[in-house]
Amino acid sequence: MTSEALPTTAVTSSKRSLDDADGESQVDDKKQRLEDDEAQQQSKKRSKVSRKYAMLLSYAGNNYYGMQTQGKGGEVTIESKLLEAMVKAGVIGQELADKPLDFNFQRAARTDKAVSAVRQCCSMWLDLEKDANIDTVPSLINAQLPDDIRVMGLKRATKGFHCQKNCDSRTYSYTLPTFSFAPCVENTNMKFRISEEQLAEVNKLLGIYKGTHNFFNYTAKREHSDKSCFRYIISFECGKPFVYHDAVHGEVEFATIQIRGASFMLHQIRKMIGMVIAIMRGLANKSVIQKTWEEKRVDVPRAPGLGLMLEKVHYTTYDRKFSKTHATLDEWPECAAAIEEFREKCILANILKTEMKDNSMMNWLSVLLYHTYDGCEEGAPKPFCHAQHQINTANASEGAENDKDTDDAERDDDKNDVTERKGIEGEGDSLVQADEGAENVKAAIGER
Question: What is the Cα–Cα distance from 211 to 233, expressed in whole angstroms?
Answer: 5
Is the pLDDT at 317 greater than 80? The verdict is yes
Question: What is the Cα–Cα distance from 327 to 345, expressed in whole angstroms?
Answer: 28
Q: How much is the pLDDT for 49?
A: 60
Residue 335's alpha-carbon distances to 132, 338, 352, 404, 427, in angstroms, are: 17, 5, 25, 43, 26
Q: What percent of the chain has pLDDT over 70?
A: 72
Q: How much is the pLDDT for 186?
A: 82
Question: What is the Cα–Cα distance from 323 to 423, expressed in whole angstroms?
Answer: 30
Task: Name the residue among 168, 234, 170, 228 with its Cα closest to residue 206.
Answer: 234
Q: Is 133 exposed, middle or buried (0-12, 13-18, 19+ CB in 10 A)?
A: middle
Residue 137's alpha-carbon distances to 6, 87, 123, 185, 220, in angstroms, are: 20, 12, 15, 56, 40
Q: How much is the pLDDT for 48?
A: 53
Count of other CB atoms within 10 angstroms of residue 296: 11
pLDDT, tens digit, for every residue of 179-215? 999 998 888 899 999 999 999 999 999 999 999 999 9
Is the pLDDT at 427 greater than 80? The verdict is no
The mean predicted confidence, pLDDT, of the chain is 80
Count of other CB atoms within 10 angstroms of residue 333: 7
- Most confident listed range (58-67, 111-120, 337-346): 337-346
Q: Which residue has the higher pLDDT, 111 or 19?
A: 111
Q: Which residue has the higher pLDDT, 351 or 417?
A: 351
Is the pLDDT at 50 greater than 90? The verdict is no
Task: Name the residue among 142, 135, 128, 139 with its Cα closest to residue 91.
Answer: 128
Which of the four pLDDT bands, split at 50, 70 and 90, describes residue 21? very low
Is the pLDDT at 23 greater than 90? The verdict is no
Q: What is the pTM of this model?
A: 0.76
Q: How much is the pLDDT for 18?
A: 36
Is the pLDDT at 447 greater than 80? The verdict is no
Q: Which domains does the chain have, with CATH numbers?
A: 8-156 (3.30.70.580), 169-309+357-445 (3.30.70.660)
Which of the four pLDDT bands, split at 50, 70 and 90, describes residue 249? confident
Active site residues: 112
Q: What is the mean pLDDT of residues 124-135?
A: 81
Residue type, 203: N
Instruction: Give the residues across from 309 on adjacent strands.
Output: 116, 173
pLDDT, tens digit, for every residue of 69-115? 887 777 999 999 999 999 999 999 999 999 999 999 999 998 988 89
Q: How much is the pLDDT for 9?
A: 42
Q: How much is the pLDDT for 135?
A: 86
Q: What is the mean pLDDT of residues 348-355?
A: 95
Task: Name the residue among 23, 32, 172 with its Cα closest to residue 101.
Answer: 23
What does the DSSP 8-state code read for residue 25?
A: P
pLDDT, tens digit, for every residue of 255-294? 999 999 999 999 999 999 999 999 999 999 999 999 999 9
User: What backbone phi and psi angles, to 5 degrees, belong to 153?
Assistant: -170, 165
172 is in an annotated binding site: yes
Which of the four pLDDT bands, split at 50, 70 and 90, describes residue 330? very high
Which of the four pLDDT bands, split at 50, 70 and 90, describes residue 383? very low
